[in-house]
């Protein structure tokens, strides 16, 4: 578990995606083959803005193990300014306040803790942007 988490630090902690040098399409997480070009190509890292809008969402009332205390909570697909869609939890608001098209921004938060004195996993979540 710890090893797998460390492999994804760049993406998880900094919201780093990749841009295809051939067609310019941005992806998150990174990949080796561009689905648009349909071939292996060169990619360049791109720091994603973390700003976007709620594309769709669901309210989780019956949470999986390790997340029971957070229920009810919102899991959403966020469309970032760069066009990438990523999944994340929407925080700092009530579930009934979330709506499709709601402007949000990424924040760095605690995701979960493994075991009684285990490793704490951090990553991105999304909070509403105040206009």
Reduced to 3 states (helix: H, G, I; strand: E, B; else coil), residue 55 is strand
Residue 21's pLDDT is: 93
Query: What is the spatial distance between Cα 16 and Cα 33, in angstroms, rounded to a whole number?
Result: 17
Number of domains observed in the structure of the chain? 1
Query: What is the spatial distance between Cα 34 and Cα 14, in angstroms, rounded to a whole number?
Result: 22
Instruction: List, in order, residues 6 or more apart from 25 with CB less than 8 Å away.
Output: 19, 34, 36, 37, 83
Q: What are the structure tokens assigned to 31, written together?
A: 């990949």
| Length of the chain in terms of residues written | 131
Residue 30's pLDDT is: 85
Per-residue pLDDT of the chain (131 residues; tens, 9 = 90+): 444 555 556 666 688 999 999 999 999 988 889 999 987 888 999 999 999 999 999 999 998 887 888 899 999 999 999 999 999 999 999 999 999 999 999 998 887 777 666 777 778 999 999 86
Residue 110: name the closest of 119, 127, 123, 94 by CA. Answer: 123
Residues 10, 47: contact at Cβ < 8 Å? Answer: no
Residue 11's pLDDT is: 64
Residue 1's pLDDT is: 46
Residue 109's pLDDT is: 84
Residues 48, 15: contact at Cβ < 8 Å? Answer: yes
Domain that holds residue 82: 2-128
Paired with 77 in beta bridges are 56, 87
Question: C-alpha distances in angstroms, 88 versus 11, 41, 76, 115, 117?
Answer: 13, 28, 6, 23, 25
- The answer to whether the pTM exceeds 0.85 is no
């Amino acid at each position: 578990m710890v090893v797998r988490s460390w492999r994804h630090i760049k993406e998880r902690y900094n919201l780093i995606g990749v841009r295809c040098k051939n067609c310019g399409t941005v992806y998150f997480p990174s990949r080796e083959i561009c689905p648009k070009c349909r071939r292996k190509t060169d990619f360049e890292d791109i720091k994603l803005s973390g700003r976007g809008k709620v594309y769709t969402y669901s309210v989780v009332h019956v949470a999986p193990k390790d997340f029971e205390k957070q229920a009810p909570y919102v899991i959403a697909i966020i469309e970032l300014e760069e066009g990438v869609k990523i999944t994340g939890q929407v925080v700092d608001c009530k579930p009934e306040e979330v709506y499709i098209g709601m402007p949000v921004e990424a924040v760095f938060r605690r995701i979960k803790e493994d075991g009684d004195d285990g490793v704490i996993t951090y990553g991105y979540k999304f909070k509403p942007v105040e206009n």
